Amino acid sequence: MALREIVVDGDPILRKISRPVEKFDSKLATLLDDMAETMYLDNRGIGIAAVQIGILRRIFVVDVGDEHGKLEFINPEIYEREGAQLYLEGCLSCPGKNGYVERPERIRVRAQDRNGEWFDLEAEGLLAICICHEYDHLDGTLFIDKVVELTEEQIAELEAEEEEE
Ligand SMILES: [Zn+2]
């Protein structure tokens, strides 16, 4: 495994559309391992897309610290979205920035694993947020494009809700 360098906002590659993965080989496995290692370094991130290390392929890895552990998504398709939730997001490619983004409360996604096998997953809460955030990277969208401006009262309310949970 090896650490890869994170591409940061301003680099035009982050705005490009990633291409589907066709070969499920040892090169892909190494890429997935490297992505995870890069994400876990210093507990920096809960998700990383291949484009963030300069690879324009439809791949991302997430680990939000729940019972699912590390999840790998290749050629994913989010085919159901339900509800809405606001969360203060950040991104490895946008250091020092964060902002509230509205995402679905619950999603269904299908994707391939590192062996090319299709799987189906229902996700909610933070996992749904994280998957949607990474999914956006595959089409050149960053969370900073979607930040909603909130009043101080709305932010205080959201923070109070989060403390209750
Ligand atoms: Zn990101």
Distance (angstroms) between ligand 1 centre and the Cα of 22 equals: 24
The span from the CA of 39 to the CA of 19, in Å, is: 21
pTM: 0.94
134 is catalytic: yes
pLDDT score at 165: 66
Distance 83 CA to ligand 1 centre (A): 22
Query: pLDDT per position in the chain (165 positions), as tens?
Result: 789 999 999 999 999 999 999 999 999 999 999 999 999 997 778 999 999 999 999 999 999 999 999 999 999 999 999 999 999 999 999 999 999 999 999 999 999 999 999 999 999 999 999 999 999 999 999 999 999 988 889 888 888 887 876
φ/ψ of residue 93, rounded to 5: -90, -5
For residue 159, count other CB atoms closer than 10 A to its CB: 11
Ligand 1 centroid to residue 99 C-alpha, Å: 12
Catalytic residue among 77, 80, 134, 149: 134
Go through the chain and tell me how many residues it has: 165
Among candidate residues 111, 110, 121, the one with its CA nearest the CA of residue 57? 111
Please give the domain boundaries of the chain with CATH numbers for all domains.
Answer: 12-164 (3.90.45.10)
How far away, in angstroms, is 116 Cα from ligand 1 center? 24
Q: How much distance in Å is there from the Cα of 143 to the middle of ligand 1?
A: 7
Which residues keep their CB under 5 angstroms from ion ligand 1?
91
